[in-house]
């Protein structure tokens, strides 16, 4: 995507309306699928992966999964990478742990990227590859 004056643009997509999501995916140079290690997110993954695959056949843009709200020491965090293997999408090494600061930042300017700084570095590497 080319945006005057900006180096990168992030398009967040809402749940529910697949036409909006499809428009965003078609415009994307890199598709990031945030996923929480929950049954609900995993249950949706088959549909998401199919949808992303269909768009990627048109654009060839890389797609990656970003694990968020990870809680150290839990079975869910330990097993999620293996659980997602059948979907065949690369999973970023960088993860976002569950953090109260992330939950409280809603509507505020963000000055400290926290763990998202590591995510950003890895995304830049994937985009440049
Ligand atoms: N407390 C938290 N710690 C770490 N990551 C969080 C926390 N709360 C939310 N996130 C992550 O931040 C991102 C945005 O959270 P949000 O609650 O807006 O979820 P969402 O999936 O975008 O929901 P919606 O469909 O309503 O837009 C998600 O990837 C979520 O996993
Ligand atoms: Mg959202």
- Residue whose CA is at the smallest distance from ligand 1 atom 15: 103
- DSSP alpha helices (H): ranges in 1-129? 18-27, 39-59, 75-84, 100-104, 116-128
Global model pTM greater than 0.85: yes
Q: Which of 33, 39, 29, 36 is nearest to 9 (CA)?
A: 29
Residue to mutate, 64, 96, 116, 118, ligand 1, most ligand atoms under 8 Å from C-beta: 96
pLDDT(2) > 60: no
Mean pLDDT of 22-35: 96
Residue 34 has what DSSP assignment? E
Are 66 and 96 contacting, i.e. CB atoms less than 8 angstroms apart? yes
Domains annotated for the chain, with CATH where assigned, are 18-128 (3.40.50.300)
CA of 34 to the centre of ligand 1 (A): 8
Using DSSP, state whether 46 is helix, strand or coil: helix
Q: What is the mean pLDDT of residues 113-119?
A: 94
Ligand 2 centroid distance, CA of 15 (Å): 7
Tell me which of 69, 70, 92 to substitute to probe ligand 1's pocket, judged by most ligand atoms within 8 Å of the beta carbon.
69
């Amino acid at each position: 995507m080319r945006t005057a004056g900006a180096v990168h643009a992030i398009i967040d997509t809402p749940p529910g309306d697949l036409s909006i999501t499809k428009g965003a995916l078609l415009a994307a140079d890199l598709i990031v699928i945030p996923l929480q290690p929950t049954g609900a997110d995993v249950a949706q993954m088959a549909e998401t992966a199919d949808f992303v695959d269909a768009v990627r056949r048109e654009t060839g843009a890389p797609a990656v999964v970003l694990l968020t709200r990870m809680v150290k020491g839990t079975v869910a965090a330990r097993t999620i990478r293996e659980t997602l293997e059948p979907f065949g999408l690369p999973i970023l090494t960088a993860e976002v742990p569950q953090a109260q600061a992330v939950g409280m930042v809603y509507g505020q300017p963000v000055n400290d990227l926290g763990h998202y700084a590591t995510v950003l570095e890895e995304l830049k590497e994937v985009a440049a590859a």
